[in-house]
Amino acid sequence: MKNGILDILKGKFLVSGDAPKNWLFIIFASFLAAVMIGSSHSADAKVHRIADLNEEVKELRSQFVDTHKDAQQLKFESTLTEVLEQDELYPSDIPPKKIRVKSITKKRGN
């Protein structure tokens, strides 16, 4: 047992008779480790990208709400009156009159 651990620490398994089998396993394990590391970095990058996009969505939603509120304010009669007064246009003091048109219908005989 003690001799086996010393052989591993000295690296004798890399130069012994069945070393090619050991080297193939080490290369395979190294390849798998590299794939795992790459996959982990890719997943981390995607998580950061998702967080950035969520922040952008929150900011754009806030902008939308502010713009929508401003548009609603512009629809009010008082706001329109203020804007038009700057151009020296004032609302009429005389209320509008209804125009009634009598329709003329012709009846045909049977």
The string of pLDDT tens digits covering residues 81-107 is 888 888 888 888 888 889 988 887 766
pLDDT in tens, 46-68: 999 999 999 999 999 999 999 99
Q: What is the DSSP secondary-structure string of 29-91?
A: HHHHHHHHHHHHHHHHHHHHHHHHHHHHHHHHHHHHHHHHHHHHHHTSHHHHHHHHHHTT---
Q: What is the rounded average pLDDT for all residues in the chain?
A: 86
Mean pLDDT (whole number) for 70-89 = 86
Place of tokens 């713009």: 67
- Could you give the C-alpha distances from 60 to 3, 50, 53, 70, 71, in angstroms and in order? 68, 15, 10, 15, 16
What pTM was estimated for this model as a whole? 0.53
**pLDDT beyond 70 at 110:** no
Say what the pLDDT of residue 46 is: 97
How far apart CA 47 and CA 83 sit, in angstroms, is 48
Domain range summary for the chain, segments of one domain joined by +: 2-86
Contact 31, 38 (CB under 8 A): no
- CA dist 62 to 58, 67, 92, Å? 6, 9, 39
Residue 34 has a pLDDT of 97
